[in-house]
Amino acid sequence: MKIISIPVRESWEELFRRPTPEIEEIEDQIKPIFRAVMSSGDEAVQKYTSRFDGVLVDSLLCSPQEFKDAEKALDPELKKAIQNAMGNIKRFHSAQKTTRVEVETAPGVLCWQEKRPIEKVGLYIPGGTAPLFSTILMLAVPAQIAGCREIIMCTPPNKEGKVHPAILYAASLCGVDRIYKVGGVQAVAAMTFGTETIPRVYKIFGPGNQYVTVAKQLATQYGVAIDMPAGPSEVMVVADDSAKPSFVAADLLSQAEHGADSQVVLVTTSQTFLESVREEINMQLAELPRKDLAQKALSNSKLILAESISDALDMINFYGPEHLILSCEDAEVLSEKVINAGSVFLGNFTPESAGDYASGTNHTLPTNGYARQYSGVNLDSFMKSITFQRISEKGIQQIGPTVAIMAEAEGLQAHKNAVTLRLQALLSK
């Protein structure tokens, strides 16, 4: 990992640049896949699944037997862990329900807001180098709580044309029974346009690599919403001498092992602590099964010595990390000044991996600096807010003149007429 000491602010743009290629480069590779799926449906999906995943599946839809086999194959302890995690996620997301908001803005003018579920949602679950069955809990649980009528899921098959049993079990536990063995760009395209087998959805959720991220953004050009741009994983740790170097090293490596394009950043005010973390990383890295992937990610990563905690805070809000760990004294106080972050983890005993799996918060979060303007997935992500209003005779007399004056000033006579005709009718009663 690169060590940077007291970087000047003018260098931050380059210092915190993510290791991602230009979108235009990726789009040029994605657009032909979208066009093929739009025109050829299942045939194109099968072709690209064969090309990218190296397998031709008999059926894109997982069969009931595959769900039964998955449940038998899964270790009982893992089943129990998935159930426990699901319980915490359900509790946290259920608490996010809100009641109808109703206000009488003027006498006789009643306005209110109610939420409705998005009817059709598609979940994308990565399954390449790691079967992310935990992501199913993060997406399907709030979708069920929200009341989405149709919840489908796409995930890439392995070389044998199978889906990992933990993915099938978690999906079944969450009530998702339509899983399609298709991944990558072709999965996003299939949910965007619909095929003979895979239905079109109104909104697509789920993380993925750079290609999936750009494919989701391309889907928005065809009338499909997405949760957020969510690409390669990243973490920023801000730590001082009160932190434990082995803990911080483990936190950094837990993100680095996601993939070669992940990015991890340590910001600390202590040179001694920085050196200790670097030594710990080298020791722990040697023991990791995914050492090669983590090592590639570390080449894109930084160990930064900051002049002060105040500078560290500015770096946080400049970078806008997907995950932010505050392993320092007064972490609670510091957290109040965090403006840009996907999810924040406070204290020495709050590892980011707890949020990845079982604390209850959602792990589908904005990356690439999008935490500056996007929230992570939550219950509202699966819902729409609809406003209502009811105006009485007294109410239209109250606000009618205001509407008429404003409409006339904008040159919209029909808007004015819609009010004045009503006012005249009341006067003639």
pLDDT digits (tens, 9 = 90+) for 339-390: 999 999 999 999 999 999 999 999 999 998 999 999 999 999 999 999 999 9
Tokens encoding 399: 């606000």
- Output the pLDDT for position 357: 97
Mean model confidence pLDDT for the chain: 95
Question: How far is the CA of 336 from the CAs of 297, 302, 349, in angstroms?
Answer: 30, 25, 19
What are the pLDDT digits (tens) for 264-297?
999 999 999 999 999 999 999 999 999 998 999 9
Entry pTM: 0.94
pLDDT band at 149 (very low <50, low <70, confident <90, very high): very high
Q: What band does 145 get if pLDDT is binned at 50, 70 and 90?
A: very high
233, pLDDT greater than 90: no
Q: Any idea what the Cα angle at residue 280 is, between residues 277 and 286, rounded to 5°?
A: 140
pLDDT of residue 129: 64
What residue has token string 């319980």? 87
23-97+118-227 maps to which CATH number?
Answer: 3.40.50.1980
Query: Look-up: residue for tokens 């209003």?
Result: 389
3-state DSSP call for residue 391? strand
| Cα 275 from chain centroid (whole Å) | 33
Q: Which of 60-69, 92-101, 128-137, 194-203 has the lowest mean pLDDT?
A: 128-137
Distance CA 217, CA 220 (A): 5
- CB 384 within 8 Å of CB 118: yes
Asked if the 392-427 domain carries CATH number 3.40.1190.20, the reply is no
2-20+232-360 matches 23-97+118-227 in fold: yes
**Is 107:394 a contact under the CB 8 Å cutoff?**
yes
Pick the CATH number of 2-20+232-360 from 3.40.50.1980, 3.40.630.30, 3.30.565.10, 3.30.450.20: 3.40.50.1980
Q: How large a percentage of the chain has pLDDT more than 70?
A: 99
Q: In 10 A of CB 400, how many CB atoms?
A: 18
Q: What ranges do the domains of the chain cover?
A: 2-20+232-360, 23-97+118-227, 392-427
Residue 207 has pLDDT above 90, yes or no: no
The residues facing 386 across adjacent strands are 114
Measured distance CA(329)–CA(257) in Å, rounded: 28
Per-residue pLDDT tens over the stretch 2-31: 999 999 999 999 999 987 767 888 899 999
User: Two tokens at 63?
Assistant: 């069969």
Q: d(Cα 381, Cα 306) in Å, to the nearest integer?
A: 36
Q: What's residue 210's pLDDT? A: 84
* Residue 128 confidence (pLDDT): 64
Binding-site residues sit at 124, 186, 209, 233, 255, 258, 323, 356, 410, 415
Order of all β-strands in the sheet with 120-124: 179-181, 150-155, 120-124, 203-205, 225-226
Catalytic positions, written as ranges: 322-323
